[in-house]
Copies of this chain bind each other. A is one copy, B any other.
Amino acid sequence: MADPIEFWFDFVSPYGYVASERIEAIAAKAGRKLVWRPFLLGAVFKVSGAQPLTQLPPMKSDYSKHDFERSARQFGIPYKMPPGFPAATVGAARCFYWAEIRDATKAANFVHRCYRAYFADGRDISKVDIVADIAAEAGFKRDEALAGMNDQVIKDRLKAVVDEAIQRGIFGSPFIIVGAEKFWGADRLDQVAEWLRRGGW
């Protein structure tokens, strides 16, 4: 059985969003299962000492803002820097793990809707009420999603995922893992596709 493609991301990551719009086609072409793994960059940054993009010096943050937009536009992906960036995404991540247990297909739908809500429509995904709305749009029951985000089992599940990210050396978003190989960044998607096509090198 071929290794699945693990797609590690934070819902607040612009490059995660851009990559999330392309990774399914890459997985399908390679005949690999895709595993969505939202985690919390903030927790990882505490360990790695990295800074959020908005706290970088101006020469880097100016480049990044332009680059987000250009990278999305290259593939016709709608993108607008959300007001109040960066948003807290603990609720969105918890909602995904609640959803995944129930229906993996709808949970993938939730990933796309949540990302687009934030990066295309400027909705405030730091609010659990908004996240529950998005869960409903993805086909779940709104009140169940709200309760799910508050369930200790789900909270523990996300905590375990974040611990796994730190333990496996996942320090950015997106992080794409195939077997023992890790690829960091939306600009590595073509390299990942080539890796899968050639069976490595």
Contact = CB atoms under 8 A, between A and B. Distances in A.
A171 to B, nearest CB: 5
A119 to B, nearest CB: 18
A167 to B, nearest CB: 10
Given A185-B187, A187-B188, A59 B73 contact: no
A169 interface: yes
Interface string A132-173: 000000000000000000000000000000000000010100
Interface of A is mostly: helix
B188 A74 contact: no
Contacts of A187: 185, 187-188, 191
A57 interface: yes
Interface string A35-66: 00000000000011110000001011011001
A74 B194 contact: yes
A171 B59 contact: yes
A190 interface: yes
B169 A59 contact: yes
A68 interface: no
Interface string A18-41: 000000000000000000000000
A73 B191 contact: no
A74 B201 contact: yes
A67 to B, nearest CB: 7
A74 B191 contact: yes
Interface string A168-201: 0101000000000110110110110010000001
A57 B49 contact: yes
Given A67-B184, A70-B181, A187-B187, 8 more contacts: A49-B57, A57-B171, A62-B169, A63-B184, A70-B201, A71-B191, A73-B201, A187-B191
8 contacts: A48-B57, A48-B59, A50-B60, A71-B191, A74-B194, A185-B187, A187-B187, A187-B188
